[in-house]
Chains A and B, each alone.
Chain A
Amino acid sequence: MPIQDKGPQGSRKRVTRRQFLHRAGWAGVGAAALSAVPRRAGAQGASPYPEWVSPSTKPPKRGGTLTRASAWDPPVLDPRLTQSVGLFQFAGLTSNRLVRYVFPDEASGPGDMGLKGDLAESWSASPDHRVWTFKLRQGVKWQNVPPLNGRELTSADIKYCFEAYAKEGVQTFNFREIEGIETPDKYTVRLHMQTPNVFVAHALAEPISVIFSREVLEEDGDLKKRCIGTGPFILKEHTRKVKVVLQRNPDYYDKGRPYLDEYVILITPDDATRKAAFRTGQTDFIWMASPSEVETIRKTNPNAVVQAYHNTAVFFGLAMSQDKPPFNDVRVRRALAMAIDRQKQVDTVFEGHGVLGWGVPYIYYQDKAPTAAQFGPWWQYKPAEAKKLLGEAGYPNGFSTTLFYYEYWPQMTSQVQLVQAELKKNLNIDVKITKMDYTTYYGRYVDPKWEGLAWGFQSGHAVGLDERTYQYMHSKSTKNFFRMNDAQIDELTIKLRQTPDPKEQRVITKKIVDREFDQVLRLWMPYDNGFMVFQPHMRNGAAIALRRTDSYGSPQIARVWLDK
C-alpha cells in the first residue's frame, strides 16, 4: 500500500512502542513532503512556463537590495588567474569590458547575440581583419576608491590590462594573439593581431575579459585582494565563505543605472538550504534544473515567476582519450555514440526539459534547435548496429575501461550510471565509475594524460563563436580538453576566423559541426534546460542565451530593478 495513505500519527491501532515512534517521525516527514505531489515518471512535453520573461515596460524604480544564494565562493579575485564562475558571478559587475553582448531589455528575444559597446563607443577593423581600432567612451571613471580615486579611464589602461593578460595567467593563449597595441590618443586603442581574425570584438566581449586597473596590480603585486573596476557596482565587502556585497557605483558612466542600491551574494554551499532561502524570501532568484523541482517550489511559493531557459549548447559530454586505443578508432567512437540512448535521458532524467547535446551553440549556424535526425546516423540509438561496428573495430566482446567524474549536480550521476548500464548491456563494455571531489577531478581532467573516459566539459563562460570553435577544437589549443586532432577541423576553424561574412560564417560553422558529429570527436551528452525562478517583484532579470543571470551573465544585473 502506498505510503501516502497513512496520516501523521500512524493511524493504526495497537502499534508497538518502537513502531510508533519510528512511524511518527518518518510518516510526519513523508506526509509533509508529500504535500508537494510527486510527479510520476515520464512527465514530458512542452513546459508550461514561458521561454522569455520580457523586460518590464514600467518605469524602473531605483533602490533596494537584490539577494541571491550561491554555491560558489570565489577562491581568487584575480581575473588573470581564474575563469571560475565564483569570481565572474560578480566581477562582471565591478568591471566592464571593451565590448559587451546585449542585455535583456535591449534584446529582441532570448537568442539575441548582438554586440554593443561597453567601454568602447565604436570599433572597426581593417579589411584584412588584422588591425582593430576601438574608440573609447570619454569621461568613464574608475570607481572612487583608493588608489584609483575616480580618475578617468584612458587607452593606456586598456593597453596595460591586455598586456598583463598576455603575460601570465589563464587568458594568455587568447591575448598572445595580439602582436602589438597602439594608443595614438587618450581614447583610441589599436590592436595588431598576429593573424587575421574576424572575431576579435567578440573575444573581447567575453564575460571574462574584464578591464582591471594598473594601480592595484602594481601596488599589490596581484589582483587577489582588491577588486576595483569601472563597473556599475563597487565591491563593498567580501567575507570568505559568507557573502559578497556590491554597492551601487554613483559615478557609473551609464547614468541612472544601476537601479539597485545593493546586490548581495550569500555563500550557501548546500542545495536544500538555497531552496529554503528562496522559499522564505531571503533570496530573490534561483536556478532550478528540473520541472519537478520547480513544481515543489511553486507549491509553497505560487507567485514565483518562472522562465523556462533553453540552452543553445551543452557543456558536458563523454570525453574519450581518443589519442590512444581503443578510442582513436572512429568506429569505436561511433559505436559508443549509437549505443547510448540520449533521447531517453532527456525524457527521463530531465523530464523532457532538456537538450540532446551538442557543443557549438546552434544559433551560430541555424535558427532553430537541432533535431535528433540532424546529427546523422551515428547519433541515433541503434544498439545492434553499434555492436556490429564495435565488432568490426576488433572488439566483438567489448572491453573494460574507466570513467571519472565530479558530481556537479545530481542529474549527472543519474546520467553516468545510465551510460554505464547501456554500454554494458549493448556493447559489453565494462565501465568502472569513480566519483571524485572537485580538485582531483579538475586536476586530472585538464591534464591530457588520463585514460579511458571522463564526464568532461568545455568551459561554461564562452559566448563567442571563435571561442567555441577555434579555442576549443583546434588540435593545438590548450583548451582542447577532448583531445581532438582532426586536420579538417583545424583547417575549418582557422578559415572561420578569417571569414567576415555572417552567412558564410554559418556555412563554415555548419561544416565544422557536421565533421565533429560525423567523426564523433566529442560525445556530447544531454543537458538540462533549466529554469530561472524569480520572486514576483524582480524585473529585467531574465536569462538570455549563453548568459545566465546568476552566473556569467551577471553584467545584466545592472538593468535589474525591484518592484516593491
Chain B
Amino acid sequence: MNGDRAAVSLPGVTTAPIPTGAAAPAATVSRTRLLWLTLRRKPLGAASAALILLLVLSAIFANVLAPYDPLETHPEIRLAPPCREHLFGTDDIGRDVLSRIIYGSRISLWVGLLAVGIGTVAGMIIGLVCGYWEGRIDLALQRLMDAVQAIPGLILALAIVSVLTPNTTNAMIAIAIVIIPGNSRIVRGAVLSAKQNRYVEAAEALGCRNLHILVRHILPNVTAPILIIASIWLGNAILIEATLSFLGLGTQPPIPSWGLMLSSTGRAFMEQAPWLAIFPGLAISLAVLAFNLFGDTLRDAWDPKLRRQG
C-alpha cells in the first residue's frame, strides 16, 4: 500500500519498509521476550543495546563520571593533547574534552528524545486519527503532511530554526516537525491494516467504544513500527543537529553538544589538535551506529515476516 512508503527527505536518512502486514494479535509471545531472545542471538544487536545503555548512564550520571566541569576554562593549557590529567585532551580554551563528551551525552539524549518524542507522538496522533476515522479528515490531514514533506527536510529545519532563536531545543522542534509526516504515514498504514483484522470488526459489531478499540486493538499493532523507526531517528537527530551547528544554527556555545564540538572547534583545529574532532566524531558515530543497529535488531525481533522460519 502506498501508505507504507516512508520516503523521508532528510540527508542520510532512510527507512526500510516498516512491517505493517499481518500483525500478530496483542500478546501471545511478549514483545520484550522476543527482543531478549533476538539480543541473545545477534551479538551486534547486543552490542548496540549495551552502547545505548552506556549513553543513558553517562547522561544520567554525568556529574559523577566527568572529572572536570565541562564549562571551566583554563586557557593556559589550551589544545593539550590527551595525557594523564586530561584523557581526551583540552580544547581551544582549555576545557577538558572528556568531561565535555560525557556531558554531551546529555545533550544528545535530550536532542534525540525531544525531536523523536515530539515527532513520534504528534505523528502517532495524526496517523491514528487519519487511519481510524478516514474520510475527509484523513484527506485534509494527509495533504497537509504531503505539503510539509514536499519541502526538503534540511531547508525546512533551517527555516524553522531561523524563525525561532537558534538553540538546541528549537533545532529539535524543527527536526520533530520534519519527522512528523513520515511517522504519521507509517502509523496510518499500520492502523489501516489493523482495522482489517477480524477481531476489530468483531469489537465494532459488539458496540465497543472507539477509544476502547483504538487502545486495545489498534495501538499494539502500531507500537512496533513506531518504536523501530523512533530508534533509528534517535541517531539521525544527532546527525542533523550537527549539520545545523555546522551551518551556525544549532546549539549555542558554550554548551557541549557533540555536534557543535565537531563542527566548530573540531574542524577549526583539525590539524593542530585532531583530538578535538576525533572524540566528538567518534561519539556521534558510535551513538548513531548504536541506534541504527538497535533499530535493525528491533525489526529482526518483531517483524513477523522475518521471524517466520518456513
- Chains A and B touch each other in the complex, with CB atoms below 8 Å apart: yes
* A→B interface (CB under 8 Å): 1-4, 18, 22, 26, 29-30, 33-34, 36, 38-42, 271-272, 292-293, 295-296, 344-345, 347-349, 407, 410, 413-414, 416-418, 420-421, 433-437, 440
Main secondary structure of the interface of A (DSSP, over half): helix
**Beta-carbon contact of B274 and A410 below 8 Å:** no
Q: What mask results when residues 261 to 292 of chain B are scored 1 for a CB within 8 Å of chain A, else 0?
A: 00011011111111100100110011000000
Q: Is the CB of A435 within 8 A of B92?
A: no
User: What chain B residues lie within 8 Å of A433 (beta carbons)?
Assistant: 252-254
Q: Please tell me if the beta carbons of A434 and B270 are within 8 angstroms of each other in the complex.
A: no
CB-based contact B272/A349 at 8 Å: no
Say yes or no: is B21 at the interface (Cβ < 8 Å to chain A): no
Are A437 and B162 closer than 8 Å at their CB atoms?
yes
Q: List 17 A-B contacts (CB under 8 A).
A: A29-B278, A30-B274, A36-B272, A40-B79, A41-B75, A42-B77, A272-B270, A293-B271, A296-B271, A344-B76, A347-B75, A349-B75, A410-B264, A414-B92, A421-B71, A433-B254, A435-B248
A residues in contact with B248, CB < 8 Å: 407, 435-437
Residue of B nearest to A300 (CB): B271
The answer to whether A292 and B272 touch across the interface, beta carbons within 8 angstroms, is: yes
A248 to B198, CA, bound (A): 83
A2 in contact with B82 (CB, 8 Å) = yes
Find out whether the CB atom of B82 lies under 8 angstroms from the CB atom of A296: no
Residues of A within 8 A of B274 (CB): 3, 29-30, 33-34, 38
Q: Is the interface of B mostly helix, strand, loop or mixed?
A: loop
Is there an interface contact between B268 and A38, defined as CB atoms closer than 8 Å? no
Contacting pair A2 B83 (CB below 8 A): yes
Interchain nearest-CB distance for B17 vs A (Å) = 27
State whether B264 touches A413 (Cβ < 8 A).
yes
Q: When A348-B76, A434-B166, A435-B253 are in contact, do A293 and B93 touch as well, CB less than 8 Å?
A: no
Q: Are A30 and B278 in contact (CB under 8 A)?
A: yes
Q: How far is the CB of B25 from chain A (nearest CB, A)?
A: 38
Q: How far is the CB of B131 from chain A (nearest CB, A)?
A: 40
Within the assembled complex, what's the spacing in Å between the Cα atoms of A413 and B254?
Answer: 9
Task: Give the Cβ gap from A175 to chain B, nearest Cβ, in Å.
Answer: 35
The A-contacting residues of B in range 162-178, CB under 8 angstroms, are 162, 165-167
Which chain A residue lies CB-closest to B161?
A437
A233 CB, nearest partner CB in chain B, Å: 33
Among B252, B253, B269, residue most surrounded by chain A Cβ atoms (within 10 Å): B253
Contacts of B167 on A, CB cut-off 8 Å? 434
Q: How far is the CB of B220 from chain A (nearest CB, A)?
A: 34
Expressed in whole angstroms, the Cα–Cα distance for A295 and B81 within the complex equals 17
Task: Give a binary string over B69-108; 1 marks a CB under 8 Å from any A CB, 0 the rest.
Answer: 0011101111111110000001011100000000000000
20 additional contacts (CB under 8 A) given A41-B76, A292-B79, A414-B92: A1-B82, A30-B275, A38-B81, A41-B75, A41-B80, A41-B94, A42-B76, A271-B267, A271-B268, A272-B267, A292-B272, A344-B75, A348-B75, A348-B94, A349-B78, A410-B92, A413-B265, A417-B73, A434-B167, A435-B253
Chain A's closest residue to B92 (CB) is A414
> Does any Cβ of A come within 8 Å of B139's Cβ?
no
Enumerate chain B residues within 8 angstroms of A292, measured Cβ to Cβ.
79, 272
Name the interface size band of chain B. Answer: 35 or more
Tell me if B252 and A434 are in contact (CB < 8 A).
yes
| B282 interface neighbour in A26, A344, A416, A440, Cβ under 8 Å | A26
* Complex contact A33–B271 (CB within 8 A): yes
Closest to A422 in B: B73
B47 at the interface (CB under 8 A from A): yes
Any A CB within 8 A of the CB of B191: no
Q: In the complex the two chains form, what is the Cα distance from A399 to B285 in whole Å?
A: 40
Chain A contacts for B72, CB-based, 8 A: 421
Partner of B93, one of A38, A407, A414, A434: A414
How long is the Cα–Cα vector from A461 to B173 in the complex, in angstroms?
40
Q: A145 vs B278: C-alpha distance in the bound complex, in angstroms?
A: 54
B249 at interface, CB cutoff 8 A: yes
What's the least CB distance linking A353 to chain B, in Å?
A: 14
Complex: A420 Cα to B93 Cα, angstroms: 12
Assess the B166–A435 pair: CB atoms within 8 A: yes
Specify which of A1, A30, A344, A418 lies most central, judged by the most chain B CB atoms within 10 Å of its CB.
Answer: A418
- Residue of B77, B252, B254, B268 touching A410 (CB-CB under 8 A): B268
Most buried by A among B79, B166, B271, B285: B271
Check A437–B249 contact: CB distance below 8 A: yes
Closest to A27 in B: B278
- Given contacts A30-B274, A436-B166, is CB(A417)–CB(B79) below 8 Å? no
CB contacts (< 8 Å) of B90 on chain A: these are: 41
Contact A348 B162 (CB under 8 A): no
Q: From residue A527, how far is it (CB to closest CB) to chain B in Å?
A: 16
B93 lies within 8 A of A349 (CB): yes
Collect the chain B residues with CB atoms within 8 Å of residue A42's CB. Answer: 76-78
Which of B94, B166, B253, B278 is close to A26, meaning CB atoms less than 8 Å apart? B278
- For the complex of A and B, 10 pairs with smallest distance between CB atoms: A348-B75, A410-B268, A33-B274, A41-B78, A296-B271, A292-B272, A421-B73, A417-B254, A38-B272, A414-B92
List A contacts of B254 (CB < 8 A): 417, 420-421, 433
Closest chain B CB from A276 CB (angstroms): 11
**When the two chains form their complex, are residues B265 and A39 in contact, meaning their CB atoms are under 8 A apart?**
no
Given the interface pairs A2-B82, A30-B278, A41-B80, the reply to whether A18 lies near B47 with Cβ below 8 Å is yes
